[in-house]
């Protein structure tokens, strides 16, 4: 945030005070788990106004803590964003794999499609969270290894799935690596078009979005599948 559009944090949890002895210590000097709370607050801010809407001070405010406190847990705003990205990526991966678990095991191309669809659905449903896990502006690759690893494993998963599909003769001959990159570019691009507000210009309204997502995914898969009129 560039200082312009930052609301004055309307809602504080009515921070109580006093502590010590044995009274129902309402305001302990040490916050229970500030790190966790800060990540949640930041995650919420992301959900409200995108990654730009995250400020350390506002997160501290929502946690009911002084502006300097977060720096005990995160050396910089970027570090906080890294942690946020890590959390978002964890959720992303969890949902993808959950959906994949329901897909039939004996149809690799179908599973490939399922992966793409799960990817698109999550991205459409959580655009702001998707944004921060996709832009490498956060988490420096070196730090935040969790994100990279989760992501890398997801990529490996699709790669294996695609290779299986090819091995079972479901694909036309092609450079599998390029197919994989093209597929990624397709779903990533679609998700990004949503985030970046391209859809209105393309006549894709909110309700159509998911249907369109499915449509372009099937179009792509038809393009790489062996029999042009089979897998859709």
Contacts with DNA, residue ranges (CB under 7 A): 1-4, 6, 8, 19-20, 28-31, 34, 54-58, 60, 65-69, 71-73, 75-78
- Extract the tokens encoding 46: 């992301």
How many C-beta atoms surround the C-beta of residue 86 within 10 A? 21
Smaller CB distance to DNA: residue 57 or 91? 57
Smaller CB distance to DNA: residue 17 or 211? 17
- Which of these, 18, 14, 30, 39, lies nearest to 66 by C-alpha position? 30
- Which of these, 88, 214, 61, 70, lies nearest to 151 by C-alpha position? 88
Residue 223 DSSP label: H
Q: Which stretch binds a copy of itself (CB under 8 A): 15-23, 63-71, 106-114, 201-209?
A: 201-209
Smaller CB distance to DNA: residue 78 or 214? 78
Smaller CB distance to DNA: residue 64 or 146? 64
Smaller CB distance to a copy of itself: residue 25 or 155? 155
| Rounded to 5°, angle at Cα 176 from 170 and 179 | 90
How many C-beta atoms surround the C-beta of residue 205 within 10 A? 10
Alpha-carbon distance 181 to 185, whole Å?
6
When computed from its CA atoms, the radius of gyration of the chain, rounded to whole angstroms, is 22
- Extract the tokens encoding 184: 């990624």
178 touches, from DNA, a copy of itself, none (C-beta below 5 to 8 Å by class): a copy of itself
When asked if residue 151 is in the footprint of a copy of itself (CB under 8 A), the reply is yes
- Look-up of token digits 């702001």: 128
Choice from 7, 26, 68, 215 touching a copy of itself (CB under 8 A):
215
Q: Which stretch binds a copy of itself (CB under 8 A): 32-40, 99-107, 110-118, 176-184?
A: 176-184
Give the interface with a copy of itself as residue ranges (CB under 8 A). Answer: 2, 4, 52, 76-77, 134-137, 141, 148, 151-152, 155, 172, 174-175, 177-179, 181-182, 184-190, 192-193, 196-198, 200-204, 212, 215-216, 219-220, 222-224, 228
């Amino acid at each position: 945030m560039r200082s312009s559009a930052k609301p004055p944090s309307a809602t504080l949890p009515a921070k109580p005070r006093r502590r010590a002895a044995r009274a129902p210590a309402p305001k302990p000097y040490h916050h229970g788990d500030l790190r966790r709370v800060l990540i949640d607050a930041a995650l919420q801010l992301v959900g409200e106004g995108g990654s730009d809407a995250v400020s350390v001070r506002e997160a501290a405010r929502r946690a009911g803590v002084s502006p300097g406190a977060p720096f005990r847990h995160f050396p910089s705003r970027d570090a906080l964003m890294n942690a946020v990205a890590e959390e978002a990526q964890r959720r992303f991966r969890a949902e993808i794999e959950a959906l994949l678990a329901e897909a039939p095991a004996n149809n690799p191309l179908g599973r490939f499609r399922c992966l793409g669809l799960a990817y698109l659905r999550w991205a459409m449903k959580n655009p702001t969270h998707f944004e921060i896990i996709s832009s490498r502006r956060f988490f420096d690759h070196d730090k935040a290894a969790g994100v990279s690893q989760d992501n890398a494993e997801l990529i490996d998963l699709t790669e294996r799935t695609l290779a299986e599909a090819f091995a079972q003769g479901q694909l036309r001959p092609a450079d599998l690596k390029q197919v994989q990159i093209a597929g990624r570019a397709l779903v990533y691009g679609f998700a990004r078009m949503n985030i970046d507000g391209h859809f209105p210009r393309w006549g894709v309204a909110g309700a159509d979005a998911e249907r369109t997502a499915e449509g372009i995914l099937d179009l792509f898969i038809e393009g790489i599948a062996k029999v042009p009129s089979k897998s859709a």
